Structure formats: C-alpha cells, structure tokens
C-alpha cells in the first residue's frame, strides 16, 4: 500500500515552474515525432498546426503586411513541416526554416521540391542556432514562445536581436491571461490515452493540469506507465498580458509596435485565448 501511495503522490506532485522540460523528447523521439507530424497535417483539429484555412489567411496577411518579396530574408523558428515557409517562398522571398523534428523537415523538403521552390531548411534547436546572416523578418507561430522558461526566453530574445537587420521585425503569438483565467486544474486517466499518441505499446496515462497563479503559468503533466517503464512529459503554457511581454522584449532591444488577436492580423481583443505581437529591432 505504501508503494502505491508513493506512486500516486508522485503522479499528482506539482513541480516548481519550469522545473522539468521535455520538449525535445516530444519532438525528436522517432515514434512521437511521426504522431506530431500527423497532428500538423490533420485538418480536423488545431493541434500542432492550425487548420488550412487559417494558415492560408495568416500566411497571406504576413506576406502583405511585411512586404515579403524578392530580396526579403525571412526565417521561421519551429517551422515544422513547412506549412508557412512554403507559402512565404511563393512570394519570392529568401526563406529559411528551422526545426529539430527530422520527420517534419523531411516532409517540408519534399513539399518544397514538389512545388519547385527553394527553401533553406536547417535541422537544429532554435535556442542553439547561430548564423552570420541577418533577416528582415523572424516568425515563430503556434505559441512556441509560451512553452519556454524565462531563461530560455531571454536567450531567444537575444538571438532575435542578433539575427535581425536594424529595423527588422519578429512576429509571434502567445497564450493570454484570458486563457489562464478560463482554464481549470483537472486530472484525467486512460488506457492508451490520446489514441496511442505517447507510446506504440500499451500504456496507462495520468494527465494532470496545474495552474500557477503567481506566474500565470499552466502545466499539462503526463505520467505514462508501460509494462516495463515509466515516463513523464511536461507541456508548459506561459500566459501573458501586454505589459509583461512588452517589458520582456524591451530588455533585449526589441520594441513591440503592434498587437493582434492572432497571426492573421485580426484586431486585438482581450477576450481571446491567444494574441500576436509584432516587434522591431531598435
């Protein structure tokens, strides 16, 4: 009984903010990365990527808003299977895609060849990325910024500043305080939870959602038991208001100039779960 009690205590333990990070395990594991690619390409859900209608609308708006054309250099951080980079490349801009999922990049490369467009795809962790090239625009879409710890966000903002041309821009989206306020702590349990997403073999999954009021932070914690092993996965969701993200960017020479409800240029509203920001290198 003590052993089972201890196991349940561990399952339901609330870690410290950003105490554990498993992003790399999620995106680079051979089995789960295949599932993530399927999520990217699944048009019935807004999971790893949003639906095709939104992507088309968003990409077209970004192309127009930032005047992407021949001579423009743009890099997409966390490009996945190239759903945005492919569309950006059709504007004749010089496009780079950066991601650490080999499966997603392989799909992106194939699609670029099929569409006869030149896109420079780079395999790697964007927190480690370095380049002498300077860019007119950096994109980071699907709230990746919200999954990073404060230290990682500092590192990323320094990188943005070093990679942008003077006056260059970055556009990204984040989770909002509205999302935090309307979310709830909860627990769930299931056999082969999420339809065998986590492991190929049979497993039991405990899913805990925790909220951190002071930090305005949400954690989805997954504890997976197979016949022989146990795994933990942590998905963090940092939630922002305007003041918080403006201060973060200002500390690294980036001035936020525009707010939108999403990356398709929709007018800003505080009642949305996400919002987008446009910042320029000062």
* 8 Å CB contact between 275 and 260: yes
pLDDT of residue 77: 98
pLDDT of residue 40: 63
Of 94, 154, 101, the closest CA to residue 119 belongs to 94
Name the residue ranges covered by the structural domains of the chain: 32-40+48-175+241-281
Q: What is the CATH class of 32-40+48-175+241-281?
A: alpha beta
pLDDT of residue 45: 55
**What's the pLDDT tens digit per position in 217-249?**
999 999 999 999 999 999 999 999 999 999 999
> What's the whole-number mean pLDDT along residues 129-156?
96
Q: Which two structure tokens, joined as six digits, stand for 267?
A: 């007018």
**What's the pLDDT tens digit per position in 23-48?**
777 777 778 877 777 766 766 555 54
**What's the pLDDT tens digit per position in 168-204?**
999 999 999 999 999 999 999 999 999 999 999 999 9
107/181 Cα distance (integer angstroms):
37
* 8 Å CB contact between 172 and 144: yes
Q: What percent of the chain has pLDDT over 70?
A: 95
> What's the whole-number mean pLDDT along residues 9-19?
95
193/162 Cα distance (integer angstroms):
42
* 8 Å CB contact between 224 and 199: yes
Q: Which two structure tokens, joined as six digits, stand for 254?
A: 């980036």
What's the whole-number average pLDDT of the chain? 93
The pTM for the full model equals: 0.93
Q: Which two structure tokens, joined as six digits, stand for 170?
A: 């970055």
């Amino acid at each position: 009984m003590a052993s089972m009690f201890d196991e349940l205590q561990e399952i339901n333990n609330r870690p410290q903010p950003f105490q554990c990070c498993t992003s790399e395990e999620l995106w680079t594991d051979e089995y789960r990365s295949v599932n993530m690619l399927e999520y990217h390409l699944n048009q019935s859900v807004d999971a790893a990527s949003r639906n095709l209608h939104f992507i088309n609308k968003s990409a077209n708006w970004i192309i127009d808003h930032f005047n992407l054309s021949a001579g423009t250099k743009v890099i997409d951080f966390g490009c996945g299977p190239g759903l945005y980079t492919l569309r950006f490349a059709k504007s004749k801009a010089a496009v780079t895609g950066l991601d650490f999922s080999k499966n997603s990049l392989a799909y992106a490369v194939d699609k670029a060849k099929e569409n006869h467009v030149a896109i420079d795809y780079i395999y790697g962790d964007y927190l480690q990325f370095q380049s002498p090239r300077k860019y007119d625009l950096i994109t980071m879409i699907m709230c990746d910024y919200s999954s990073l710890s404060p230290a990682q966000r500092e590192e990323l903002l320094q990188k943005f500043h070093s990679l942008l041309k003077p006056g260059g821009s970055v556009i990204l989206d984040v989770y909002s305080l509205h999302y935090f306020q309307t979310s709830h702590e909860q627990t769930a349990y299931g056999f082969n939870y999420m339809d065998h997403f986590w492991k190929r073999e049979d497993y039991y999954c405990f899913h805990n959602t925790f909220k951190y009021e002071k930090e305005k932070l949400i954690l989805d914690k997954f504890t997976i038991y197979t016949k022989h092993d146990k795994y933990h996965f942590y998905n963090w969701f940092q939630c922002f208001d305007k003041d918080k993200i403006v201060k973060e960017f200002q500390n690294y020479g980036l001035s936020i100039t525009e707010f939108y409800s999403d990356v398709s240029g929709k007018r800003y509203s505080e009642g949305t779960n996400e919002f987008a920001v446009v910042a320029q290198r000062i």
